[in-house]
Amino acid sequence: MINIALGFDSNFAPFAAVTIKSILLHNSEINFYLMYDNIKKSDIEKIEKMITECPQKSNKVNWIDMSGKFNNLFTGSWSSSAVYFPLALPSICKDDRILFLDADTMVTENLSEFYNQDLTGYYIAGVHDYGMVSNINSGQLIPVDNDKKLSTKEYFEKILNWDNEEMKKYFNSGMLLMNLKAMRNDNIEEKIYTSLKEHTFAFPDQDCINFVCHNKVKILEPKYNFMILHDDVWNNLSENIKNGLQKYQNEESTPLIIHFLKKPWRKPAEKIPFSKQYNEIRKLTPYKNYRSKQETFQFRWSRKGKYLRILNKTIFEF
Ligand SMILES: [Mn+2]
């Protein structure tokens, strides 16, 4: 059995369904932990049916109601508290390990070998957050408090107390292979909640895990959380990092897990690597007729882009 967790609400259900379908296409005997908040009964029914309609594959679903769980911990303008759900996995899943995936990811192959890799001595296996790691030397400012800004390097030094070597390990929390047993043994879940109360993190959901698990992180190759970055982040990457990522853009070395920071359903899809494959899988989900706001109508007239799109057709673009 492979345990896989996702967290989402009704707004994200159509995209979580793509992640789940992509897993189902290449795997069997998956035990899903679907953590939800603000979800419609019809979404639960649709997704449950999609997972269990192939009984010989022996997939299972556990629906975990997370309503209100993270409401008091944080104030702020988060679109959804679902970003915090993975923090609770050590107490939700009693097994030894679980794979957490953001609901904006796509799996392209069988996960068994990756899932069963050695995690001795580690709490988590994850992939660098290239954008942040690249910014260590670029002086890029990040907002910390309402009006306070720090460079990425200063942020790592002052808020996370890391030295130069430590900050190079900063990982992205959209894909986490978690050693739940080790995390439970060392009360990591509690330590993470405490860290959220005691620190003002810039990206709380990701920084708290980095802060607490930092010295026991297995850093993996980019193909296990291949992030499709926004253009400005990609352009700011150091040449070194860019070159390391380039090889995954072509067909021969498709990443195992693709993570769309740039969303195929929000941006002009034809410009996003792997969006064609993504949209093919989308057609296999119960949400095949669903269109996001941006896919229905998109107009932009600014320095960054000038275009009009209606029902996914480009009417004009300069
Ligand atoms: Mn994500």
Which pLDDT tens digit goes with each residue over 197-206? Answer: 898 888 889 9
Q: Which residue has the tokens 């904006």?
A: 104
Ligand 1 centroid to residue 260 C-alpha, Å: 6
> What 3 state SS string does the chain have?
CEEEEEEECHHHHHHHHHHHHHHHHHCCCEEEEEEECCCCHHHHHHHHHHHHCCHHHCCEEEEEECCCCCCCCCCCCCCCHHHHHHHHHHHHCCCCEEEEECCCEEECCCCHHHHCCCCCCCCEEECECHHHHHHCCCCCEEECCCCCEEEHHHHHHHCCCCCHHHHCCCECCCEEEEEHHHHHHCCHHHHHHHHHHHCCCCCHHHHHHHHHHHHHEEECCHHHCEEECCHHHHHHCCHHHHHHHHHHHCHHHCCCEEEECCCCCCCCHHHCCCHHHHHHHHCCCCCCCCCCHHHHEEEEEECCEEEEEECCEEEEEC
- Are residues 184 and 147 both part of a single domain? yes
Position 214 scores a pLDDT of: 92
- Per-residue pLDDT averaged across 76-80, rounded? 56
**Whole-number average pLDDT of the chain:** 90
- Are residues 220 and 279 both part of a single domain? yes
Ligand 1 centroid to residue 132 C-alpha, Å: 15
Ligand 1 centroid to residue 18 C-alpha, Å: 13
Ligand 1 centroid to residue 285 C-alpha, Å: 20
Q: Which domain holds residue 54?
A: 2-287
Position 79 scores a pLDDT of: 57
Ligand 1 centroid to residue 173 C-alpha, Å: 8
Ligand 1 centroid to residue 266 C-alpha, Å: 14
The pLDDT-based confidence of 317 (bands split at 50, 70, 90) is confident
Ligand 1 centroid to residue 128 C-alpha, Å: 14
In this prediction the pTM is 0.92
pLDDT digits (tens, 9 = 90+) for 120-153: 999 999 999 998 888 888 878 888 877 788 999 9
Position 310 scores a pLDDT of: 82
- Are residues 281 and 296 both part of a single domain? no
CA 230 to chain centre: 14
Q: Is the pLDDT of residue 15 over 60?
A: yes
* Domains of the chain: total: 2
- Are residues 204 and 271 both part of a single domain? yes
Ligand 1 centroid to residue 100 C-alpha, Å: 11
- Are residues 296 and 208 both part of a single domain? no
Q: Is the pLDDT of residue 251 over 70?
A: no
Ligand 1 centroid to residue 61 C-alpha, Å: 22
- Are residues 270 and 310 both part of a single domain? no
CB 182 within 8 A of CB 191: no
The pLDDT-based confidence of 75 (bands split at 50, 70, 90) is very low
Q: Is the pLDDT of residue 187 over 70?
A: yes
- Are residues 200 and 311 both part of a single domain? no
Ligand 1 centroid to residue 56 C-alpha, Å: 31
The pLDDT-based confidence of 296 (bands split at 50, 70, 90) is confident
- Are residues 137 and 208 both part of a single domain? yes
The environment of the single-atom ion ligand 1, i.e. residues with CB closer than 5 A, is 102, 104, 174
- Of the ranges 64-78, 100-114, 226-240, the best mean pLDDT one: 100-114
- Are residues 255 and 313 both part of a single domain? no
Q: Percent of the chain, pLDDT > 70? A: 95
Ligand 1 centroid to residue 273 C-alpha, Å: 16
Ligand 1 centroid to residue 102 C-alpha, Å: 5
The residue that leads in pLDDT, 210 or 81, is 210
pLDDT digits (tens, 9 = 90+) for 264-274: 888 766 678 89
- Are residues 184 and 267 both part of a single domain? yes
- Per-residue pLDDT averaged across 290-315, rounded? 82
Ligand 1 centroid to residue 82 C-alpha, Å: 11
- Are residues 236 and 316 both part of a single domain? no
- Are residues 66 and 176 both part of a single domain? yes
* Residue 232, domain CATH: 3.90.550.10
Pairing of strands 105-107, 257-260: antiparallel
Position 107 scores a pLDDT of: 98
